[in-house]
């Protein structure tokens, strides 16, 4: 067994010792490869004696829902991950892939600031029924897949510019189809800030007016969602590309809001 690591776009290298590193979707270490193809492993927190050194075999998977991570690891690496993220339904209490429950009983929870969510009864099984822990209402996994597919299609249809994607994303959140920590909202926020950076730098008048209408305050939930989820799932990559874009947008166009972002 060898570990395959990308050193650049056109070169792959084989590292025999590194192949013994264990995968986790909440890794305690990260693999770093320099320009000379020298590989090193860096921990980003204290590792206790006897605790295995873990890495994520593909950092993109850290921001995927549980079923996509599972299918990818089984297909490409022939194993099913048993880490804490993959064996619990709350995804480190972020409810990253869960759906809000809008039943009458659970709507009262929303008003009190404690929303309830549909989560799979068995997160290790793709065909598991989903249940709301607040009211015990159940939902068939096919219905869940259908709802998420329709939400994703709707977001893609409105993803031509930041303003239309922002409006559709907030509509789905307000209608209780999605929530701020949902992976589809996370992906949409990345697109929005990426488009904002491009459109603001080209001095698009309509975008500038829309962005500055409320001095950028409307973007604070999205900004804090991005930063919170990034730090939760990938602490060592806090300065990765989507966070750099977010911070550049706020630093340049909304410096007065920097103190309100959860850094």
The two structure tokens encoding residue 178: 């999605």
Q: What is the mean pLDDT of residues 168-177?
A: 94
Longest dimension (CA), the chain: 60
The half-sphere exposure of 111 on its side-chain side, counting CA atoms within 13 A, is 6
Any idea where the domains of the chain sit in the sequence?
A: 3-87, 149-260
Per-residue model confidence as pLDDT tens digits over 108-155:
777 677 889 999 999 999 899 999 988 999 999 999 999 999 999 999
Per-residue model confidence as pLDDT tens digits over 67-78:
999 999 999 999
- Would you place residue 1 in the very low, low, confident or very high pLDDT band (cuts 50, 70, 90)? very low
Q: What is the mean pLDDT of residues 75-86?
A: 92
Give the sheet arrangement for strand 138-139, strand by strand.
Answer: 99-100, 117-120, 130-132, 138-139
Task: Show Cβ contacts of residue 36 under 8 Å, excluding neighbours closer than 6 positions.
Answer: none
For the cut 60, the answer to whether the pLDDT of residue 158 exceeds it is yes
Per-residue model confidence as pLDDT tens digits over 11-58:
566 778 888 889 999 999 888 877 777 888 888 888 999 999 999 988
Identify the weakest region by mean pLDDT among 10-14, 90-94, 164-168, 197-201: 10-14
Residues 24 and 53: beta-carbon distance below 8 Å? no
Residues 185 and 191: beta-carbon distance below 8 Å? no
What does the angle CA 107 – CA 110 – CA 125 come to, to the nearest 5 degrees?
Answer: 80
* Residue 153: per-residue pLDDT: 97
- Would you place residue 209 in the very low, low, confident or very high pLDDT band (cuts 50, 70, 90)? low
What does the angle CA 163 – CA 169 – CA 172 come to, to the nearest 5 degrees?
Answer: 140
Range 3-87 has CATH code 2.170.270.10: yes
Residues 221 and 227: beta-carbon distance below 8 Å? no
**b/e code 6-32 from CB counts within 10 Å (16+ = b):** eeeeeeebebeebeebebbbbbbbbbe
pTM for this entry: 0.83
Phi/psi at 43 (nearest 5 deg)? -85, 150
Exposed/middle/buried for residue 110 (C-beta within 10 Å: 0-12, 13-18, 19+)? middle
């Amino acid at each position: 067994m060898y570990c395959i690591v990308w050193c650049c776009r056109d070169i792959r290298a084989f590292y025999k010792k590194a192949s013994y590193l264990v995968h986790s979707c909440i890794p305690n270490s990260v693999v770093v490869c320099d320009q000379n193809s020298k590989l090193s492993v860096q921990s980003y927190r204290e590792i206790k004696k006897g605790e295995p050194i873990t890495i994520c075999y593909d950092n993109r998977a850290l921001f995927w829902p549980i079923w996509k991570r599972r299918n990818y690891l089984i297909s490409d690496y022939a194993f099913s991950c048993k880490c804490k993220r993959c064996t619990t339904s709350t995804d480190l209490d972020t409810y990253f892939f869960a759906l809000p429950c809008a039943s009458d009983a659970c709507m009262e929870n929303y008003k009190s600031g404690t929303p309830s969510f549909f989560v799979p009864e068995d997160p290790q099984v793709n065909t598991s029924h989903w249940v709301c822990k607040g009211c015990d209402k159940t939902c068939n996994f096919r219905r869940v897949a259908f709802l998420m597919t329709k939400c994703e299609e709707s977001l893609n249809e409105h993803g031509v510019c930041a303003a239309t994607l922002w409006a559709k994303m907030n509509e789905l959140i307000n209608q209780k189809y999605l929530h701020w920590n949902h992976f589809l909202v996370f992906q949409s926020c990345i697109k929005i800030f990426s488009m904002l950076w491009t459109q603001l730098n080209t001095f698009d008048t309509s975008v500038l007016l829309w962005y500055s209408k409320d001095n950028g305050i409307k973007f604070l939930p999205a900004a804090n969602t991005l930063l919170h989820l990034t730090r939760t799932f990938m602490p060592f990559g806090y300065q990765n590309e989507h966070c750099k874009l977010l911070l550049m947008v706020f630093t340049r166009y909304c410096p007065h809001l920097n103190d309100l972002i959860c850094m």
